[in-house]
Structure 1
Amino acid sequence: MSISATEGVGPSLWGLGATTSAKTQQDKDMFLQLLVAQLRYQDPMNPTDSSQFLAQSAQFTSLEKMEEVAAQTAAMVQAQLAFGASSLVGTTVTYATGPAGDDGSPAPTATGVVDGVTFGSQGPVLSIDGTDVALAALHTVTRPGIGPDAGTAAATPADD
């Protein structure tokens, strides 16, 4: 009976989920194939030092953990963008309606109230007075009743 270099090594063994990209999976498979080939074809009179094998295994595990942390960080950034975008509903925003001019003139802008937010594959998209606007196109955000034009009364201390 013969066993191939990657037999028994799959997503369940390494804790990989369906979100692992095909390229990442190919890289891991290549690493394991090289490791098995190194062990299979080593000189029997001068075998590979076990500390080297353990070091390579530890590096591989570290790489996997770093990939997991990167994926979790990306998910957290997406969640933060979603929460931030949804908090803009009801605010007045100014956004770019086109690119900046070739002569250095600023991009044309428009102002409107955010009616809603949709979450697509490219990130949050704001609905502003019926127009879909990417979150990155915003220039300013103003909440009603807050800002330099808002008439806020100053509190005065009570007389005794």
Structure 2
Amino acid sequence: MSDTPLPPSLAEIAEDFRSATNDLKLQLLLEFSDELPGLPERYVGHLDQLERVDECQSPLFLTVEVDDGDALDARAVHLFFDAPAEAPTTRGFAGILHEGLDGLTAAEVLAVPDDAPMRFGLAEAVSPLRMRGMVAMLARIKRQVRARTATA
């Protein structure tokens, strides 16, 4: 794993998971699943405007909006996810990323290490295939932020 620090909001969530038993990790994941905000009205019924994350075992769609501005460290990122209620693990991963990244600046989101999902200690509680889905969500979020800010 890289030693690049996580943003404080994501680091706090990671610490909560790392310090929990596997049963408690699954309970925390369910809480994040329940707390995932619904799509804003402009995206409801328009999943074609969101990107599907094929690596997820359940259908998950996401999109990123970035506020206007000149500098990456002044442009807030907003995340939107759509995942079915009957997919609590996938929704939980989306909830973690939403809670930990939504509202950060583009620079902060782009600085999140690609291995961040592996720092939650969830690999002992969920399958490697599911972990791949969370890694893919983060990769797509970062790619969309780069595309919307026209940075490489």
TM range (shorter): under 0.3
Query: Whose strand proportion is higher, 1 or 2?
Result: 1
Which fold has the larger relative contact order, with Cα–Cα distance below 8 Å and residues 6 or more apart in sequence?
Answer: 2
Q: TM-score, normalised by structure 1?
A: 0.19
Query: Whose helix proportion is higher, 1 or 2?
Result: 2
Query: Which of these two proteins has the greater Rg computed from alpha carbons?
Result: 1
Q: TM-score, normalised by structure 2?
A: 0.20
